[in-house]
Each structure stands twice: as structure tokens, then as C-alpha cells.
């Protein structure tokens, strides 16, 4: 059994930020369960571009309001608590936060924990 609290992660190497967002990484590849899970905060008034070329990501919004845009089509979906979006086609997308967003993000394959977005917006596929 794995039991962690947010306090266990804050200020450690399992918390990473780029200014627009902060990711607190609860479950990682080293945990051996086949997925990773993050508690992510996106700051109010920001727009972030993401493309998970090497991962499938499910996002469940628990706080805040904003929108996610599928870049390929221009389709925009409103985000509010209780909304889930799944990037099952490795969709390039933009997240716009009207208020601070807090979300639970699940990745497959799992993150190892040191990933940061590259210039194209995606995480490299790390194995260690």
C-alpha cells in the first residue's frame, strides 16, 4: 500500500513548476502500478500549451474555471469542477485558466518524475 499526503510532496523533488503551473507528483513509474498521478495547479489568468506526444493524459478538474482548446480543430470546452477531459489522441491543446485551476492528472505510460515540457510542449519519454 502507498499512502502519501500533499504535505509529503510540497518542497521536494516531486514538486515541479514552470510559473504558469505547478505539478505535485504523487504516483510515479518507480511505484510500479502502470500509471502516474499528479495534483496540478494552473495559475489564474494564464494560457498554457501542451502536447503529450508520448503519453495519454486524463485530467479531472476539482477546483476553478477555465477552458481547454483542441488546437487541431479550434473546439473549446469549458472547465469547471467535476469536468474530465482525456487526451486519447495525443491532442495538442491549450488550457486557459480564468481562475486558479486544480486538477488530478493521470499519465500512461507513467512519468518518472523529472520530466519537463520541451519547446514543442511535450514530455520526453523517460525510462529512468
The pLDDT tens digits of the residues spanning 68-79 come to 999 999 999 999
C-alpha to C-alpha distance for 32 and 53, rounded to whole angstroms: 22
C-alpha to C-alpha distance for 29 and 107, rounded to whole angstroms: 10
Q: What is the mean pLDDT of the chain?
A: 93
pLDDT at 80: 98
**52-56, 99-103, 111-115: which has the minimum mean pLDDT?**
111-115
C-alpha to C-alpha distance for 60 and 81, rounded to whole angstroms: 8
Mean local confidence (pLDDT), 54-74: 97
pLDDT at 112: 85
| Domain 16-108 in CATH 3.40.50.300 | no
Confidence check: pLDDT of 115 > 90: no
Amino acid at each position: 500500500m502507498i499512502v502519501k499526503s500533499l504535505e509529503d510532496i510540497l518542497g521536494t523533488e516531486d514538486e515541479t513548476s514552470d510559473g504558469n503551473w505547478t505539478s505535485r507528483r504523487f504516483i510515479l513509474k518507480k511505484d510500479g502500478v502502470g500509471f502516474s498521478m499528479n495534483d496540478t495547479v494552473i495559475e489564474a489568468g494564464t494560457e498554457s500549451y501542451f502536447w503529450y506526444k508520448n503519453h495519454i493524459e486524463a485530467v479531472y478538474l476539482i477546483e476553478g474555471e477555465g477552458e481547454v482548446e483542441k488546437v487541431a480543430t479550434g473546439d473549446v470546452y469549458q472547465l469547471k469542477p467535476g469536468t474530465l477531459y482525456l487526451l486519447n489522441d495525443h491532442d495538442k491543446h491549450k488550457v486557459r485558466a480564468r481562475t486558479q485551476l486544480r486538477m488530478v492528472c493521470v499519465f500512461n505510460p507513467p512519468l518518472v518524475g523529472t520530466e519537463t515540457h520541451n519547446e514543442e510542449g511535450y514530455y520526453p519519454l523517460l525510462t529512468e
